[in-house]
Amino acid sequence: MRIRLAETADVEAIADLEAESFPADSWPAGYLREGVEGLLHGTVLHVAVDDDGVIVGHAITSIVFEIAELQRISVTPALRRRGVAGELLAAVRDEATRQGAERLLLEVRETNTGALAFYERAGFVEIDRRPRYYRDGTTAIILQMEL
């Protein structure tokens, strides 16, 4: 398993992961391609690649001055609970720090207990809640980690 920055050839595989992990609001392939190619200001995409070269996870981060925001992190269901997301997050933190960010923020549905457990274990702390933030009425929890 290794973590690297995404390339244009990875876009289709990332789009498949998006559809699998975020069926309600997945990023379309065209938007992902713009991100990979550096056309979305501050957006960085990382992928986790297994020993056969298959993309099994991805993370999308936007880094603007001192604030980095983790937009997405996902791992293909069959490979969860093996530390892949932890490795992706470490790469995100390294890149955000390298670019001068001081804080890593994210928002997560309060119903996403698996992700909340992952973020808590990783050291994020809750700083805010936004009731009915999502279109379906779910509350968003805002989490932060100092870099």
Ligand X SMILES: CC(C)(COP(=O)(O)OP(=O)(O)OC[C@H]1O[C@@H](n2cnc3c(N)ncnc32)[C@H](O)[C@@H]1OP(=O)(O)O)[C@@H](O)C(=O)NCCC(=O)NCCS
CB contact at 8 A, 98 and 42: no
Rg of the chain, C-alpha, whole Å: 15
Residue 72 or 93: the one with the smaller Cβ distance to ligand X is: 72
In this complex, which beta carbon is closest to ligand X, that of residue 15 or of residue 100? 15
Shortest Å, Cβ 70 to ligand X = 7
Asked whether the beta carbons of 23 and 74 are under 8 A apart, the reply is: no
Q: How far is the CB of 75 from ligand X (least distance, A)?
A: 4
Q: Which is nearer to ligand X, 44 or 108 (CB)?
A: 108
Q: What is the separation, in whole angstroms, between the first and last Cα of the chain? A: 25
- Of 68 and 100, nearer to ligand X (C-beta) is 68
Q: What is the rounded distance in angstroms from the CA atom of residue 88 to the CA atom of residue 69?
A: 14
Smallest gap from Cβ 59 to ligand X, in A, equals 9
Q: Residue 29 contacts by C-beta under 8 Å, 6 or more apart in sequence?
A: 11, 12, 15
List contacts with ligand X (CB under 6 A): 21, 72-75, 80-86, 108, 112, 114-115, 117-118, 121
Smallest distance, ligand X to C-beta of residue 66, A: 22
